[in-house]
Amino acid sequence: MNPFAAPGRSCTRWQAVPFSSVSWSQLRSPFPRSAARPFQGAVGPGATISLKRANGSALKHASPGEHRFAISDQSSFHNFHLLGPGVSKKTGIDFIGSRTWNVTLHVGTYKFRCDAHPNTMHGSFNVS
């Protein structure tokens, strides 16, 4: 008796499925792209601000859609502010800690900055 079979049914054989009959949608992760590879934002402890991909490279371009941003704010003198089409997310200037944001990116230019020092601590990336 198979404990995984439905009541009143037996399940004694497995059926092999040819790889060519499996669609790509069945092979994709059940987790959204944003959950697997968040963008890493950091501000402080000095006068630095950055936004990087999970592999450590600077974020210059992203595709439209939902993405996760993991922000590390390491200074009570700075904040991390993400701005773009329909988006304005930020940490507080006095805040020290981590935040995670799920953001839907649309085509356009996004900027990130420290609101206390916007002329020297800033960056941007494009979505297309």
pLDDT band at 103 (very low <50, low <70, confident <90, very high): very high
Question: What pLDDT was estimated at residue 80?
Answer: 98
Q: What is the dihedral of CA 112, 113, 114, 118, to 10 degrees?
A: -160
| Rounded CA separation 82/93 (Å) | 14
- Total domains in the fold of the chain: 1
The reply to whether 10 falls in a domain is no
The CATH number covering residue 111 comes to 2.60.40.420
The reply to whether 62 falls in a domain is yes
In tens, the pLDDT along 41-80 reads 999 999 999 999 999 999 999 999 999 999 999 999 999 9
The reply to whether 53 falls in a domain is yes
Give the residue numbers spanning the domain of 101: 31-127
The reply to whether 20 falls in a domain is no
pTM: 0.73
